[in-house]
Amino acid sequence: MKVAIASVQTPFMTGGAEIHASSLRRELIARGLEADIVTIPFKWYPPARLLDTMLMARLVDLSEVNGVRIDRVITLKFPAYYVEHACKVGWLLHQHRQAYDLYGTAFGDLDRDSEGEAVAAEIRAWDSRYLTEHRALFANSCTVRDRLRRYNDIDSEVLYHPPGNAERYRTDGFEDFILAPGRLDPMKRQHLLVEALSRLPSGVKAVLIGPTAGDYAEATIRAARQVGGDRIIVRGVVSEEEKIDLYANCLAVYNGVYDEDYGYVTLEAFLAGKPVITHEDSGGPLEFVRDGENGYVIPPSPEAIAACIQMLADSPATARAMGGAGRETIGLLNIGWDHVIERLLS
């Protein structure tokens, strides 16, 4: 059975979506199927370029390759889910959010002129029409499912999946630092953690890992230096082994995202047996984090973050108990590849 995984790729950028696609390919191959990833180059500016990529996706022919039929196409992201195929299954990572929930917010970019407004309307029309072509439609989180239902009146089934190298995460100890994984980005809100550290005693530290390009990253790094000493360490991009070691030894994990679709950080923290500090408007993490049980769900303020960190620093035993509860959450939700592959191929 030949399975094509259709997604998009922003040149020279790699993130959760790329890990997701490669993990899916690996798991399909491990079960005896032929699988490959087909990507469409993606550029979102100026707005008219989005229409070009949408049309590009619609014109992609995945019916056969080298005279041999492709039996199934699994689509993942906008606009790759516009490809035509007789046996197409969607596993929606997210739509183009600037045309939906981010439209008209500080994180949007299509509401600034008439061209962007027209493109946003076209995206919504295409989604409502072409997403229904899938013989089955899954969402990678309740957040994505609910957004699709709210804006397009389309139902989907939630299908959780584990992060890459899930079996390698472990618990070594609970040292005096908070880990904040993810690219430095306004929607990740690492600046709140930096401000929180400035309110805490010098014994508590933070380690930030992930790409550091852009104005927000530069501003966050400057603010971290102003806190003083080695209180906040910005490591940038680290190897997978280093990342897993940091998870294994941190006191807790800060995941301060704004309305994220799914995200691996919460699950990685729980696999490592660590509690997660997140916010009331963080989206995806709220599907897993239970306030006071396996982490904290708090307002997005430095004061609230500082209070949680101080409680955990004062009682590492509490951090250990919460982390253990997080690990149990993974098992209770049946987050594993066997279930995922069964549903995608059924």
Q: How does pLDDT run across 243-266, given as a tens digit for each residue?
A: 999 999 999 999 999 999 998 999
Residue 152 shares a structural domain with residue 195: no
Residue 246 shares a structural domain with residue 286: yes
pLDDT at 12 over 90: no
Residue 214 shares a structural domain with residue 309: yes
Task: Decide if 337 is inside a domain.
Answer: no
Residue 233 shares a structural domain with residue 142: no
Domain boundary among 137, 159, 181: 159
Pairwise CA distance, residues 132 & 24, whole Å: 23
The domain total for the chain is: 2
In terms of DSSP bridges, do strands 2-9 and 72-77 run parallel, antiparallel, or are they unpaired? parallel
Pairwise CA distance, residues 252 & 34, whole Å: 40
pTM as predicted: 0.87
Pairwise CA distance, residues 321 & 164, whole Å: 25
Q: Are residues 24 and 90 in contact, defined by beta-carbon separation less than 8 angstroms?
A: no
Query: What is the share, in percent, of the chain residues with pLDDT greater than 70?
Result: 100
Residue 37 shares a structural domain with residue 96: yes
Domain boundary among 159, 177, 210: 159
pLDDT at 61 over 80: yes
Q: How does pLDDT run across 187-224, given as a tens digit for each residue?
A: 999 999 999 999 998 889 999 999 999 999 999 999 99
Residue 292 shares a structural domain with residue 199: yes
Residue 118 shares a structural domain with residue 207: no
Q: Identify the CATH number of the domain in which residue 175 sits.
A: 3.40.50.2000
Task: Decide if 342 is inside a domain.
Answer: no
Pairwise CA distance, residues 72 & 87, whole Å: 5
Return the sign of the alpha-carbon dihedral for residues 192, 309, 141, 339.
Answer: positive
Residue 148 shares a structural domain with residue 202: no
Query: Could you list the residue range(s) of the whole structural domain that residue 135 is in?
Result: 2-159
